Chain A
């Protein structure tokens, strides 16, 4: 928790001023602009009802639920291995990261621990899905701001990571690789070397994108000082992940509250924060996070222990009665599963805490007083994935 910096307090004052202006009795006739459910800036089916005065946004209300698939209800009629395949589809760009907290919660209830080699591979794949997710964000945010080329570079270089995930798990987007008590398989031959190569490519991609996009004056003019979220506001809206770190809050579940079963403490890495809390800060923090993730993967690849990848677990998984909540630092923020078991083949109730739902809840606050182009910057930099909002 850091003190509020100057740009943040200025932004808070500006938001107050806009509030006062809106509450005036005399109000010019505005326009209601319905952005979505089919709009490029919402990258999915979210709708933003924006009340405009000219090009200035007076109020913006996000409307979610167009893609609601009822996952929390579906988990009540599916066995634990089946749920694992289901929850891959929540944040579809970083699928493996969705499996891990659920499996860890189930392991916690069953009192099972995966062997060290499985823990290492889990962490590596977790970070790889983070890279796959965020590297696409970096390119896509450029596309939102009008720079086409960055998006194509992101799609090109993300393929390096996806190839590694595919060769290890068999699935490019939906690995379904994590199991209670370990992993489905061991790594294929030569995977460690090719992963080193892929991480080098990704680090080069980060440098390239920093030259092409993040260092660009126009990009900075479009993002610096836009959509400033002060630290208190970010905390009170329940923001997590890079959005929170960009507001200057030094908070990362990987370091602060790492659940057993992931081995982040075995690698030397750094949590980046940025004091400004604007769109640029969020982009920059994600860029640094991608680099750190690549470093974590490279270090863990060198220290990966030998041994089995699966602990002894019964063939038919019955989770003993109890409740457990496990949250991890997913690419989009804190993702947690609250699993309630009555000792059955299926869980009694699963509450999914996904990061994007909380992250978009701040849109009405932060979009107030912004311009329509800034609304696109804000939505892009908050970085939500529709599957992660609607589940």
Chain B
């Protein structure tokens, strides 16, 4: 054997490399294309994008209303797109004193990648997908979040046509903050609803 593999033949790292090479040989993709895609990824797919949208909504009530009415149109004002073509709808759901929203995709892992970055492992886990629809408070407790008893927990099951973004409640004591300052407070968990902000 002239080849030295650092990975086992059946490891995904090895299989992935082989598949990429075969597709390159078939003229379907180039490694450079994939490199370029990955170089752009931190900007094109990041929770900072979702955070900026939320900060604008907290600062500009008319934008907030437009965002709740038609998510895709409102985020386009800031130069964002939810992706997936015109068939994909972005629904922005607002947390209030009475309602806390939490998002899941029970069937797979549907999620607004452009606004939240590649999804965290827990979002894709079988355990989260199975249980958050049955025992949302129990699941939120595992994330260390305990909404008041009177708060209604609204679980939204994303799918291929509808993606969700949670508009968290603006934290108290942030009146003097700029949009930039506000965006720094917004976490990915807050945008999915497994935490408050």
- Tell me if chain B binds chain A: no
Please give the residue numbers on chain A whose beta carbons come within 8 Å of chain B beta carbons, in ascending order. none
